[in-house]
């Protein structure tokens, strides 16, 4: 039994609001009022390292696109998710092969699952390819073989510099915004 439309609309607005607050990623929604289903959410992940094959070498790309389709049966029904940008990953098919994403987040989707948690999971999947559980697809199999021999390690300093998370200032609760703050040099 689906959620009442007004409750579903409210939940989706809150989840998108939370995504926009917590991430610097871009979220484009087909119907911002969440009244006409299915809803398409185009997500551009920014400053998020993920592997691509370019010129015969695996490199890190920091911007990625995915499409999330929400039906009126959300959150009881798993969103439909398709990868829309270049990728070399054992658990994400390239768009030309369907753009399917293999993640426990979708396999174990429940009423309590949320879009912000899903986005965090995608970020983690990009950084941590699982070559032991690839899609049965030529590109994904090649990526699994590659990552079994060469673990994915994006340039750490570069990845930290490009982080999209908003900084947390430690000690602000005492009115001193600089107390306990960590600088790059420490």
- Report CA 153 to chain centroid distance, whole Å: 18
CA atoms within 13 A on the CB side of 26: 9
How many residues comprise the chain?
186
Sole residue written with tokens 């959300």:
74
Yes or no: say if 68 and 81 are a contact pair by the CB < 8 Å rule.
Answer: yes
pLDDT digits (tens, 9 = 90+) for 132-148: 999 999 999 999 999 99
pTM to 2 decimal places: 0.82
Beta carbons within 10 angstroms of residue 117's beta carbon = 12
Strand-pairing partners, residue 92, are 89, 101
How far is C-alpha 69 from the chain's CA centre?
14
pLDDT bracket for residue 165 (50, 70, 90): low
pLDDT tens for each residue of 49-89: 999 999 999 999 999 999 999 999 999 999 999 999 999 99
Rounded Cα distance between 27 and 65, Å, is: 10
Residue 173: is its pLDDT beyond 90? no
Domains of the chain: 5-174 (3.10.110.10)
Mean pLDDT of the chain: 87
Contact 135, 102 (CB under 8 A): yes
The tally of CA atoms less than 13 A away on the side-chain side of residue 102 is 17
């Amino acid at each position: 039994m689906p959620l009442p439309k007004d409750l579903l609309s409210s939940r989706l607005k809150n989840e998108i609001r939370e995504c926009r607050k917590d991430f610097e990623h871009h979220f484009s929604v087909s119907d911002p009022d969440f009244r006409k289903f299915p809803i398409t959410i185009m997500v551009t992940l920014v400053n998020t390292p993920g592997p691509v094959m370019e010129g015969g070498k695996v490199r890190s790309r920091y911007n990625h696109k995915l499409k999330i389709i929400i039906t009126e049966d959300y959150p009881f029904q798993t969103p439909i998710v398709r990868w829309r940008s270049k990728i070399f990953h054992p658990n994400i098919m390239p768009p030309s092969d369907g753009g399917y994403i293999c993640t426990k987040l979708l396999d174990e989707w429940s009423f309590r699952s949320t879009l912000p948690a899903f986005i965090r999971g995608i970020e983690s999947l990009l950084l941590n390819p699982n070559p032991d559980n690839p899609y049965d697809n030529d590109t994904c199999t090649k990526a699994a073989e590659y990552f079994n021999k060469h673990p994915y390690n994006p340039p750490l300093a570069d990845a930290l510099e490009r982080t999209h998370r908003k900084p947390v200032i430690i000690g602000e609760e005492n009115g001193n915004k600089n107390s306990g703050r960590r600088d790059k040099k420490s």
